[in-house]
Structure 1
């Protein structure tokens, strides 16, 4: 395994993003796109290492996360701009085409890449994310359910998350972050609290602060639908279903499998919204089977 290479890249005037490359630089690139308000270090190292045995793995901090520029308060941007940032990261690192794995909001951004920049993708993998399409879900009996009637996130969880504020000291902040991940993982796969605490300690040290930004939640979410483009997609796309996810109910994975062209659906039993250690090998196996096919 090669030594990880960290650098910052400029994606817009006054906006610099932290990036890390791991693995053989001659291997096909795999870009990891994280969810809302989460930095690149939220991708667990054991998963990154498994993927980096076959790819040059690139993870990065979105703007307003981690060690990247915090800019939203002075210069608000639409959520779709984060997808363009992903392309700019590839440009800055001289990557012509990449495999892309997106989690949660990162899966939304990956769909925008499929629709707007398919020439930059070798494959796509969508994990626990909503569809950027207005096509209704078709059921086995022939009935359909409009997108707006599909179940949303667990209301109790969303209520708890909306009340989060930075804690007055580090230990209390770490307790709160571990509790967040526990609530996002209500299924049978165990959450190792010590593992997530260590990960969050590293993220805070990397960021130099522990006040999370609400930029991604506040960003303009208009103009995200790509119904026709996703239906016509030809980039091989893996849809990862998380049956125990309280943020993105698993029916949305089936919806993605229907509305996005060239998809294949895989289910990780017990998987929630948290990347717990017990799920990392099955996820890596699924992604690598897809990217190396």
Structure 2
């Protein structure tokens, strides 16, 4: 369904109250760079519903069925990256803080006072921003395969960055699917490999719903430009769980360690063999600490 949140149109999926209409604590799931709400594995969503939670997913701005911002133009990532290396702050068409306000706006539109906020990758960064900006709205924070954005943290390997910055041979469905299969093969979990057929099924679910790569570029620039979040994490008051793959080739495990260090009382759980994706097997290992964390908070 489409709702109005923070002044923009946002596509939302809401599991709603239980069958008997009872109020359930809400879990707000925030997806990562260029990914849509359908990228949340159904097994994870269903496990949260079965545990007694109201699960809300949404497409971030500029992706999926939420409002696109093509009027802001295509960013020059090479130039903005050079500015960052020179110690200058890149200019982004919108910020992760804006995207955090979108998330809070989703809660407002659904008349939800407080929620457990769970984000993966860029979504973890947005979730961190929600906990910084609106602590009174956050029952707990969970940051998955994400980072504080602090300078000096280990970076992705060169071959991973080449895959991230590549593009399909054409906009034909087969070429786009081939590109993303190779990308997820590069960043995926070595301990929990998926077949090409499994990957392709997941990928087609997204790109047949919406394909908007320029939105991914603008989101990427919002990540690069968010240079103060690491220091701001000291202000997080919410009970925090940091989940991170020990084999993550895109956002190395040290980034999860750094995030946990910066948030008072945060608990870090590393997952052996997990890369930068959510395949079967990884989902079960994430749920083991996640559901008790939500219940304790």
- Give the Cα–Cα distance (whole angstroms) in 1 for the partners of residues 278 and 249 of structure 2: 13
Are residues 1:89 and 2:86 paired? no
- Identify the match of residue 115 of structure 2 among 94, 98, 101: 98
Cα displacement string for residues 241-282 of structure 1 (whole angstroms, at most 9, x for unaligned residues): 210101111011111121111211112221110111121111
- Provide closer, same or farther for how the CA distance between residues 210 and 199 of structure 1 changes in structure 2, counting only shifts above 3 A: farther
Q: Does the residue aligned with 2:209 lie in a helix, a strand or coil?
A: helix
- Give the Cα–Cα distance (whole angstroms) in 2 for the partners of residues 279 and 219 of structure 1: 28
Which residue of structure 1 lines up, in the alignment, with residue 79 of structure 2? none
Which residue of structure 2 lines up, in the alignment, with residue 197 of structure 1? 200
Q: What is the root-mean-square deviation in Å for CA atoms of aligned residues?
A: 2.0
Which residue of structure 2 lines up, in the alignment, with residue 35 of structure 1? 32
- Identify the match of residue 253 of structure 2 among 250, 257, 271: 250
- Give the Cα–Cα distance (whole angstroms) in 2 for the partners of residues 212 and 42 of structure 1: 18
CA shift at 1:37, angstroms?
Answer: 1.1
Which residue of structure 2 lines up, in the alignment, with residue 129 of structure 1? 146
- Provide closer, same or farther for how the CA distance between residues 92 and 102 of structure 1 changes in structure 2, counting only shifts above 3 A: same
Are residues 1:285 and 2:288 paired? yes
Q: Does the Cα contact within 8 Å between 1:234 and 1:262 map onto a contact in 2?
A: no
Any gaps of 5 or more consecutive residues in structure 1?
Answer: 1-6, 133-146
**TM-score normalised over the length of structure 1:** 0.85
Q: Does the Cα contact within 8 Å between 2:146 and 2:244 map onto a contact in 1?
A: no
CA shift at 1:126, angstroms?
Answer: 0.6
CA shift at 1:226, angstroms?
Answer: 4.0
Which residue of structure 1 lines up, in the alignment, with residue 90 of structure 2? none
Q: Does the Cα contact within 8 Å between 1:39 and 1:61 map onto a contact in 2?
A: yes
CA shift at 1:155, angstroms?
Answer: 1.6
Any gaps of 5 or more consecutive residues in structure 2?
Answer: 74-92
- Identify the match of residue 55 of structure 1 among 42, 48, 53: 53
- Provide closer, same or farther for how the CA distance between residues 258 and 196 of structure 1 changes in structure 2, counting only shifts above 3 A: same
- Give the Cα–Cα distance (whole angstroms) in 2 for the partners of residues 100 and 78 of structure 1: 19
Q: Does the residue aligned with 1:115 lie in a helix, a strand or coil?
A: helix
CA shift at 1:210, angstroms?
Answer: 6.0
Aligned length: 271
Q: Does the Cα contact within 8 Å between 1:233 and 1:262 map onto a contact in 2?
A: no
Structure ranking higher in helix proportion: 2
Q: Does the Cα contact within 8 Å between 1:243 and 1:272 map onto a contact in 2?
A: yes
Q: Does the Cα contact within 8 Å between 1:29 and 1:57 map onto a contact in 2?
A: yes
- Provide closer, same or farther for how the CA distance between residues 202 and 228 of structure 1 changes in structure 2, counting only shifts above 3 A: closer
Once the two structures are overlaid, the 10-residue window that deviates more, 224-233 or 172-181, is: 224-233
Are residues 1:68 and 2:61 paired? no
**TM-score normalised over the length of structure 2:** 0.84
Q: Does the residue aligned with 1:219 lie in a helix, a strand or coil?
A: helix
Which residue of structure 2 lines up, in the alignment, with residue 10 of structure 1? 4
